A and B are shown apart, each in its own frame.
Chain A
């Protein structure tokens, strides 16, 4: 195991080296410095060890064994027709599409943005020269906190940059879509996104990770969201990587006074997915709401690791994560809530519900409360198990057959989260996916008798 870790790490360090030498990673000095510091950090830390508390329930064995590479062939074979099923009609004019980690101008569409609003590729020179990017990029998701963030920072090239100036409201959602159509060779990509909302600005961002082929690859994504005073940001995130894909990601938010942040994340794909969600409330009156739905089958594994940092008084946070696990799939949820000294009047609620549809499915849930203030309200709750027999009888007593009742109760678990999605088109498309999976699961059970 130690040898494999060294190999994976060694390969990444060599690739970083090559990137600098062949000029592919050309960048202004400030960015080169950030990258260099990040790879140095990764060199020091390496991949998490299995004894690392934060990684207790998630094995990186397969990820470290596979020979992922930055290079690839056949990059641009994805057509608009291939992409279409994953694109929303609403806000189609402000869409960034990336194929195998590279920005695709052909599939993207940028027009009619309000004055001063920037939506563009973070890898482009024009965007990198802006003061906003220099000020904010890689300032919130810290390489020292997470080796995958260190890798992202070291290798970051393309990704979305969204900037909304003071008081501007962007009505339609801004779509950021990462399509992966891997070739023969397993590839790794490090998509990197930055969303900055200035004072009183508001926007909705839809972030999708889609696998278009069933071969092995690795997406290592980081998204930083910065909310100025009274800013309002809704992020809808959909992870539908390929069945044998690996997905590691951090969604990092930083909030000033009276800002409102809402993240709704739906995890459906990948063989392995680890998503760190870190939310820092650093101004009074700020509010952070995190919603998550995980629906898995086969041997899929999803690990949500959330941290809400109440750094200032009078902030609210709300977390609701529902998981539906069938066959041999497995879910992990860690909900860490930190209330800093002096962060009085914190109001925080965390709920994690896990439904196990088979005897071989498994879920682990662990709340971690670190409270250093005395006048706060923090509650947490977790449920775990098969469908509640009481609920089942309740449905049956209303005439609904047992199997239909099971389906409906399970569906309710999903819908509870999907109902948080304010974009009807997106909600309905995900609703269909959830439904279809439930129907297939029910069919499997019927066939198995």
Chain B
């Protein structure tokens, strides 16, 4: 589904990613772990197409197409989704309105008819039920005045509505207490299918107790220095990132 090959990328001339290789197959959950400043969020932003980040070398192939050539909205239509670490607060536009605009953009590029507000509410009710949440965030402006937990929940709700094939969760656990973390993780798990894949970017192992990954990759100084199964996350938790710092040049 996703093939990242020797990806180099950065922002404002600073080189952050220095040769990432990663293969994600349908149905897989990959965790990217690493200390602050290792390039985790840069990888997430580059995959979503943030205009400030520039890929200088290497390739990203998604379902056979060159992902880096696509505009952010085209990536979304192709099924890529980024759950933001810092969701943006928007004035005035209600969550319901925003979600409908997003879903209709998706439907448009799938060649489907746009949904009117009434039909959309039906779709939304179905999605909310699937993840077990209520509609209390719907009539508030997008992320405006939301608590940290509400913002993260809102990201997952958008994911539920847009049904991405590849979801990138960027530090979705940051700023969440344990109950909110569980609620978010449970929703993500409910959205898992044998076809859909996720890349879970996190600093801490905690989230991975709830969203169990198939693979764990350790990102340091812009490179994946170690890969393994879910047990690697536990080792990192007890031994710290210094433990993998030793065998330089791996990956």
Report which A residues bind B (CB closer than 8 A).
322, 353, 388-391, 393-402, 404-405, 408-409, 411-417, 419
Contacts and interface: CB of A to CB of B under 8 A. Distances in A.
14 contacts: A353-B91, A391-B88, A394-B88, A396-B49, A396-B71, A396-B72, A397-B49, A398-B73, A398-B101, A399-B102, A399-B106, A400-B102, A409-B90, A413-B92
Interface in B78-130: 81-82, 84, 87-88, 90-93, 98, 101-102, 105-106, 109
Contacts of A413: 91-92
Contacts of B50: 393
A213 to B, nearest CB: 33
A413 B141 CA distance: 11
A322 B91 contact: yes
A419 B98 CA distance: 16
B227 interface: no
Contacts of A399: 73, 76-77, 102, 105-106, 109, 162
Given A412-B93, A416-B91, A397 B106 contact: no
B64 interface: no
Contacts of B101: 398, 400, 404, 408
Interface of B: 48-52, 71-73, 75-77, 81-82, 84, 87-88, 90-93, 98, 101-102, 105-106, 109, 141, 158, 162
A408 B71 CA distance: 18
Output the residue of A393, A398, A404, A417 with the most chain B CB within 10 A.
Answer: A398
- Majority SS of interface residues in chain A? helix
Contacts of B71: 396, 402
A395 to B, nearest CB: 8
A397 B93 contact: no
Given A408-B101, A411-B93, 11 more contacts: A393-B72, A394-B88, A394-B90, A397-B73, A399-B76, A404-B101, A405-B73, A408-B98, A409-B93, A411-B92, A417-B92
B76 A408 contact: no
B159 to A, nearest CB: 10
A391 B92 CA distance: 13
B57 to A, nearest CB: 23
Nearest to B109: A399
Contacts of A400: 73, 101-102, 105
A399 to B, nearest CB: 4
10 tightest A-B CB contacts, nearest first: A412-B92, A416-B92, A399-B76, A399-B105, A412-B93, A415-B92, A396-B72, A398-B102, A394-B88, A396-B73
B169 to A, nearest CB: 13
Contacts of A404: 101, 105
B90 A412 contact: yes
A395 B100 CA distance: 12
B90 A390 contact: no
